[in-house]
Amino acid sequence: MYADFGTLYGLKQAPRAWFERFSTQLLHMGFQASLADSSLFILHHGTLVVYLLVYVDDIVITGNNPKFLDTLVAQLSQAFELKDLGPLHYFLGLQITRSSKGLFLTQTKYAQDLLLKLQMQSSKPARSPCAPHLRLVPNEGSLLSNPHEYRSLVGSLHYLTFTRPDLSFVVHQVCQFMSFPTDVHLTAAKRILRYITGTLHFGILLQPGPISLFAFSDSDWAGDPFDRRSTTGFIAYLGYNPITWSAKKQDTVSRSSTESEYRALASTAAELC
């Protein structure tokens, strides 16, 4: 269920004051604030489970009792000016499609808008997001005259990784050169866009199944030719569903492949905890 409170107007601190009032109301109704996300509130009473997510003046509500959700919206409407927008289909650039298999999350429209903005909607699709064995380094190529455009592009690509684990590693690479990007780095970023052109409808399928938690991790050893640091990659699943993933350079230099693998394993274990 998706609801909207309308646009918040007033002083700069108005949204904060409103959130404090709204969260107080939820706590009074029996919700508990999540320790992992300050915008998430959970109601757990017997067999009843309700999750409520707040983003500025928009909320997403889900639970295992549809009748109670209708009652909850009615109660909130008495305290706040609220508009029920029905089942969730589009939220913060994420598209949600329901089927008999589950929920399919994509960012197709967001990707299309990005390609249109950069006039690359007709570019030839690339088969992979980066050239094989490509490793970007600083000071390779000529500095860009307008680095702001590169930073804007990379930031937009980073947002796409919310439903595209296949982009995580390559976007991590181009993110490392935000301060002084060159034409070589820009070419690599545009290669990602060409890959997106042919994979616009890629996304994540969330489906019911076992509630077992497991993960896969890996690392390369001294993969960065500039500082010789390794890169950790992991993905965690809840049942059949990928719920978190990362591709990140390790903080220190590993002196063996075993050490780099242990560091990757430690990062994955910390994420699972």
Q: pLDDT per residue over 138-182, tens digit each? A: 989 999 999 999 999 999 999 999 999 999 999 999 999 999 999
Residue 36: the pLDDT is 85
Query: For the chain, which residues make up each domain, given as ranges?
Result: 2-88, 105-197, 209-272
Mean pLDDT of 219-236: 93
Residue 80: the pLDDT is 84
- CA-based R_g, the chain, Å: 22
Sheet holding 203-206, edge to edge: 90-91, 94-98, 103-106, 203-206
Answer whether 161's CB lies under 8 Å from 200's CB.
no
Residue 74 is encoded by which pair of tokens? 């009615």
- What are the pLDDT digits (tens) for 75-117? 998 888 888 888 899 988 899 999 999 999 999 999 999 999 9
Residue 33: the pLDDT is 94
- What are the pLDDT digits (tens) for 111-138? 999 999 999 999 999 999 998 888 899 9
What are the angstrom distances between the C-alpha of 171 and each of 89, 99, 175?
Answer: 27, 30, 6
Q: How far apart are CA 16 and CA 4, in angstroms?
A: 17
- How many Cβ atoms are within 10 Å of 86's Cβ, its own excluded? 8
**Domain 2-88 fold:** TATA-Binding Protein (3.30.310)
Residue 151: the pLDDT is 96
